[in-house]
Structure 1
Amino acid sequence: MVDAGGRPQDSVDMLSSASPPAQHEEEPCRPGRSLDVSIILPVYNASHWLDECLQAVLHQDFQGTMELSVFDDASKDDSRAVISRWSTQLERRGISTVISGHDSAQPGGVGYSKNRAVAQSSGRYLCFQDADDVMMPQRVRLQYEAAVRNPTSIIGCRVRREPEGSTERYTRWINSLSPEQLLTQVYTSHGPTVIMPTWLCSRDWFQRVGRFDEGGLGVPEDLLFFYESLRRGGGVHRVDDCLLVYRYHDQAATQSVLEETIWMLRVAFLQERVLSQWEAFTIWNAGKQGRRLYRSLSVANRRKVRAFCDVDENKIRKGFYTYEESKEKPKPRVPIVHFREALPPYVVCVKLDLTGGGLEGNLLSLNLKEGLHYHHFS
């Protein structure tokens, strides 16, 4: 049924000029009938991308019940008009729409928007979608099926990067990780091993992990949520089909995340999950990144570093790395040795897929098992 204005009566439209609500208030799930999947779509100045994004939602081949939950985070373009134009078509297709937002001078941020879109939705499963990306027709169906089998996991998928060839190494990493590496490579600089624009998970698991951080610009809300999910025993699963066109452009939210913030989060998680279990270890790389990791460790974990190892004869000939900034007396001096003389376990601080296979070959020659004898921190 539709109202006098032609809008379906079960559509909820809450766009207003009110200021954003308090950022840490608890918001219950929207009452009403329970749906299978809610597509969670935060929007900020996304009118350029929305037609293609929403058309892809319309063409999903999922046969269950589905809704689109949109939160417009103070867009200053015509995003709202584009969303309204598509809502009727979506309703006719059986995809109910829930639309809200605010007109404050400043946006609340990505975490804030996602939390609001989740709170107003009804689906038992949450499919996160960025406004500048495009779903393949089978995305919701295949990831929903995987999530039903893995109810405490974050479900991702393979992607196609657009423009083609942009972030080539990163895209290859996203798509080529083995099921085991989805858990062992969570400390690398790439971030979550299944990227946020591909996430689908159960509402129950989302609520158990907790909401996204609402710190705003520069805060990696996806990495924080991902790490908390792992802390709570959550799994990571990837559907090995390309289900998303993942766009790269200068206005993407990921461009605003501070590298130093991510570095410190990774160090803290590595110390919590790995180094706390090791009595001693070797840092693989006596160069800039290896020394930076060493300096970032707690005093207790620095004392566990038995050596740096490397293949660079110039570094090895120096014999030691001295931590000159340390306030300890005497200042710590850590041996530098060839990797074949070093003892596992290792924290590997050499970038993956950047040495022509040299790093990977050296690790393979030692008959080591990733996740047991070494972890990548690159």
Structure 2
Amino acid sequence: MELSIFNDASKDKSMSIIEKWKEKLEGSGILVVIGGHDSPSPRGVGYSKNQAIAQSSGSYLCFLDSDDVMMPQRVRLQHAAAVQHPTSIIGCQVRREPPNSTERYTRWINHLAPDQLLTQVFTSNGPTVIMPTWFCSRAWFSHVGPFDEGGRGVPEDLLFFHEHLRKGGGLVRVDQSLLLYRYHPGAATHSVLETTIWTHRVRFLEEWALPHWATFTIWNAGRQGRRLYRSLTAGSRCKVVAFCDVDENKIKKGFYCYEDSQERPKPRVPVLHFRAAQPPFVICVKLVSVRLGHVWLGQPQGQEVVCCVHQEAAG
């Protein structure tokens, strides 16, 4: 086993800690490779991960953020899964630290069914197999491509995740808690704006799901459904045949007028009761409500659904 560490211009005592651990680990037979730079400012998460991969030599990559702790059996179990699924990203269940931080998000990470790892890739929670748990072959990583090196504010994990799916990659989770996933306000993930993530999600929805549909209905005539409609390209907006909702006040109005449109007359999209709406659907409601939506939509009849938005707070 080899440990590859890249120090992205840290200004604290990180290097002295790394050196102490290098001595301990190499005494146990683990090769430690250390890289880094001492520029005035860091170059970002994507750059650092790419450098750590480039300076390493193993056939498989097991990612670990410096503030997390992995369990002793993690590499063994995820490696076994990666051998069985060579073109997949392998994740695992996690335990949060502090224990009650992001409780709903942690439950979502740990309890998605295998098919939901794919069907819920459009939700605002981001990758269904979260980056701190990733394990994959070096060959597959090289096929998908390096992480985006745009630096602070770039969701490099989401962009890599989308590219992985574009190239036909699979998603597998080892259903054991193999990582202590630490939460703290200074984490790099908090530097990514919600609007940035929203834009990438909508573009991926348009690329990956909407081309297969001649028309579709947006489930939610409220703020989030209208936001999605406005965020679509003109070509995708033309496919929206209706909004649907359960709110009688929205339904009674009868339509949504896209006031910001340059078209004349301005587009007016019907607002229907959900029982009158036609699939396929893009659902723009809280994930807790989507479960009800599965009942309303009659999933056994095979109606197509994309869960696009999860506005429930991550905590």
Pairwise CA distance, 1:247: 0.9
Pairwise CA distance, 1:365: 3.5
> Contact conserved, 1:128 with 1:198, CA < 8 A, in 2?
yes
| Residue identity in the other structure for 1:105 | P
Alignment partner of 1:176 out of 87, 111, 123: 111
Partner SS for 1:377: strand
Pairwise CA distance, 1:323: 0.2
Pairwise CA distance, 1:279: 0.6
> Contact conserved, 2:96 with 2:182, CA < 8 A, in 1?
yes
Query: Deviation per CA, 1:19-63, whole angstroms, max 9, x where unpaired?
Result: xxxxxxxxxxxxxxxxxxxxxxxxxxxxxxxxxxxxxxxxxxxxx
Equivalent position of 2:227 in the other structure: 292
Q: CA RMSD in A?
A: 1.3
Query: Deviation per CA, 1:276-317, whole angstroms, max 9, x where unpaired?
Result: 110111000111110000001111111111111111111111
Pairwise CA distance, 1:372: 6.0
Equivalent position of 2:31 in the other structure: 96
Q: Using a 3 Å threshold, how does the CA distance of structure 1 residues 371 and 124 change in structure 2: closer, same or farther? A: farther
Residue 110 in 1 paired to residue 45 in 2?
A: yes
Alignment partner of 2:123 out of 177, 188, 193: 188
Looking at structure 2, the residues matched to 189 and 369 of structure 1 have their Cα atoms a distance apart, in angstroms, of 26
> Contact conserved, 1:153 with 1:235, CA < 8 A, in 2?
yes
Looking at structure 2, the residues matched to 101 and 146 of structure 1 have their Cα atoms a distance apart, in angstroms, of 31
Write out aligned runs for 1:338-353 (5 A).
Answer: 338-353=273-288
Looking at structure 2, the residues matched to 107 and 68 of structure 1 have their Cα atoms a distance apart, in angstroms, of 21
Residue 76 in 1 paired to residue 11 in 2?
A: yes
| Residue identity in the other structure for 1:297 | L
Equivalent position of 1:10 in the other structure: none
Looking at structure 2, the residues matched to 197 and 74 of structure 1 have their Cα atoms a distance apart, in angstroms, of 21
Looking at structure 2, the residues matched to 368 and 295 of structure 1 have their Cα atoms a distance apart, in angstroms, of 28
Looking at structure 2, the residues matched to 373 and 208 of structure 1 have their Cα atoms a distance apart, in angstroms, of 31
Pairwise CA distance, 1:373: 0.7
Write out aligned runs for 1:12-23 (5 A).
Answer: none
Query: Deviation per CA, 1:72-116, whole angstroms, max 9, x where unpaired?
Result: 000000000000001111011111100011100010000000000
Looking at structure 2, the residues matched to 152 and 96 of structure 1 have their Cα atoms a distance apart, in angstroms, of 26
Pairwise CA distance, 1:164: 1.4
Normalising to structure 2: TM-score of the pair? 0.96
Equivalent position of 1:156 in the other structure: 91
Looking at structure 2, the residues matched to 145 and 303 of structure 1 have their Cα atoms a distance apart, in angstroms, of 47
Unaligned runs of 5+ in 2: 310-315
Equivalent position of 1:301 in the other structure: 236
> Contact conserved, 2:153 with 2:193, CA < 8 A, in 1?
yes
Alignment partner of 2:57 out of 122, 128, 132: 122
Looking at structure 1, the residues matched to 300 and 128 of structure 2 have their Cα atoms a distance apart, in angstroms, of 19
> Contact conserved, 1:135 with 1:245, CA < 8 A, in 2?
yes
Pairwise CA distance, 1:371: 9.4
Looking at structure 1, the residues matched to 83 and 181 of structure 2 have their Cα atoms a distance apart, in angstroms, of 24
Looking at structure 2, the residues matched to 162 and 69 of structure 1 have their Cα atoms a distance apart, in angstroms, of 24
Equivalent position of 1:62 in the other structure: none
Q: Which has the higher contact order (CA 8 A, sep 6+)?
A: 2
Looking at structure 1, the residues matched to 286 and 140 of structure 2 have their Cα atoms a distance apart, in angstroms, of 33
| Residue identity in the other structure for 2:188 | A
> Contact conserved, 1:184 with 1:370, CA < 8 A, in 2?
no
> Contact conserved, 2:241 with 2:270, CA < 8 A, in 1?
yes
Alignment partner of 1:373 out of 304, 307, 312: 304
Looking at structure 2, the residues matched to 374 and 342 of structure 1 have their Cα atoms a distance apart, in angstroms, of 13
Pairwise CA distance, 1:249: 0.7
Write out aligned runs for 1:243-258 (5 A).
Answer: 243-258=178-193
Equivalent position of 1:34 in the other structure: none
Equivalent position of 1:363 in the other structure: 294
Pairwise CA distance, 1:338: 1.2
Query: Deviation per CA, 1:347-367, whole angstroms, max 9, x where unpaired?
Result: 0000112x4xxx412322332
Any runs of at least 4 consecutive aligned residues in structure 1 with deviations exceeding 2 A, and if so which?
369-372
Equivalent position of 1:227 in the other structure: 162
Equivalent position of 2:217 in the other structure: 282
Looking at structure 2, the residues matched to 90 and 177 of structure 1 have their Cα atoms a distance apart, in angstroms, of 35
Pairwise CA distance, 1:215: 0.1
Alignment partner of 1:321 out of 256, 268, 276: 256
Percent identity between the two aligned chains: 67
Pairwise CA distance, 1:165: 1.7
Normalising to structure 1: TM-score of the pair? 0.80
Residue 272 in 1 paired to residue 185 in 2?
A: no
Looking at structure 2, the residues matched to 185 and 371 of structure 1 have their Cα atoms a distance apart, in angstroms, of 17
Equivalent position of 1:145 in the other structure: 80
* Larger Rg belongs to: 1
Pairwise CA distance, 1:258: 1.5
Residue 239 in 1 paired to residue 170 in 2?
A: no
